[in-house]
């Protein structure tokens, strides 16, 4: 079995592949102060709850944008699963050529999403990940990473509202029935969700226009991606486990 791990700024998302079948995903919060033993115990507990013994994990591949936890997390994998983890990064075979002045600047999560998007849907494809940040990545017909756009994620915007405005409360992030809000909570929800919908529509439109790609396929993923995808007809597909799928594909390219 292959353990795939996506370490984001907010959550660590994991799954176990047996062949092409995914058991998961399961998540824990990303905390830089955890020790390798804390990560190891949490990991074993999550695997056990799904009937998976440590000895069944033969390989681990990790995509991370949080360098501060990698020493502890790597040691947890070694101590509790007895496997040497593989990191997605410079030198990893991905099949994606990065057309950027400094390819090393591109996060491992974006490379992983790009690999999955291109493998599943071909190119050109626009991959949108609604995570801590919302990212839009354009992959060309030949599998090249052509361009990327980064904006604050919906939760970042929400946190800014209630942390920076003294009278605004912390709210549930959901789409209200109407944009014509009548109270503070729904007015915040309307601004956050309809604002994200509008931004998504505009960026997709502008990418198609500037790249000259009227037939561009658009796939979305990420925690709040389903909510936005349901309201944006320009998004062709929502794929919840796109990043984990990409990790499996990259593992096969390097070790399969």
User: Which residues are annotated as catalytic?
Assistant: 109
- Locus of tokens 């990698």: 70
Residue tagged 């493998």 (tokens)? 119
Distance CA 155, CA 158 (A): 5
Alpha helical stretches, state H, the chain:
36-49, 70-81, 108-121, 154-164, 184-211, 225-229, 242-255
- Rounded CA-CA distance 229/89 in Å is 29
Residue with tokens 């919060």, as numbered in its chain: 29
Contact 200, 232 (CB under 8 A): yes
Residue 95's region, left for phi above 0, alpha for psi from -120 to 50, else beta, is left
Kindly state the tokens that stand for 176: 């209200």
């Amino acid at each position: 079995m292959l353990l795939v791990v996506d370490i984001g700024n907010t959550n660590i998302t994991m799954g176990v592949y047996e062949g092409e079948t995914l058991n998961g995903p399961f998540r824990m919060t990303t905390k830089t102060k955890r020790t390798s033993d804390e990560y190891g115990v949490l990991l074993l507990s999550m695997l056990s709850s799904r009937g998976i013994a440590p000895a069944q994990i033969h390989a681990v591949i990790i995509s991370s944008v949080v360098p501060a936890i990698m020493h502890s997390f790597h040691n947890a994998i070694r101590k509790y699963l007895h496997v040497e983890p593989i990191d997605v990064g410079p030198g990893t075979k991905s099949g994606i050529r990065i057309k950027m002045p400094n390819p090393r600047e591109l996060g491992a999560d974006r490379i992983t999403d790009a690999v999955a998007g291109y493998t599943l849907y071909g190119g050109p494809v626009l991959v949108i990940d609604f995570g801590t940040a919302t990212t839009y990545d354009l992959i060309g017909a030949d599998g090249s990473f052509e361009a990327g756009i980064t904006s604050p994620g919906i939760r970042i915007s929400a946190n800014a509202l209630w942390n920076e405005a003294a009278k605004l409360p912390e709210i549930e992030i959901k789409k209200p029935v109407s944009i014509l809000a009548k109270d503070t909570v729904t007015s915040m929800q309307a601004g956050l969700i309809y604002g994200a919908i509008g931004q998504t529509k505009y960026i997709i439109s502008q990418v198609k226009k500037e790249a000259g790609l009227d037939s561009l396929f658009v796939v979305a993923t990420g925690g709040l991606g389903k909510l936005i995808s349901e309201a944006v007809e320009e998004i062709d597909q929502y794929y919840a486990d796109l990043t984990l799928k990409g990790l499996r594909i990259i593992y096969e390219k390097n070790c399969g």
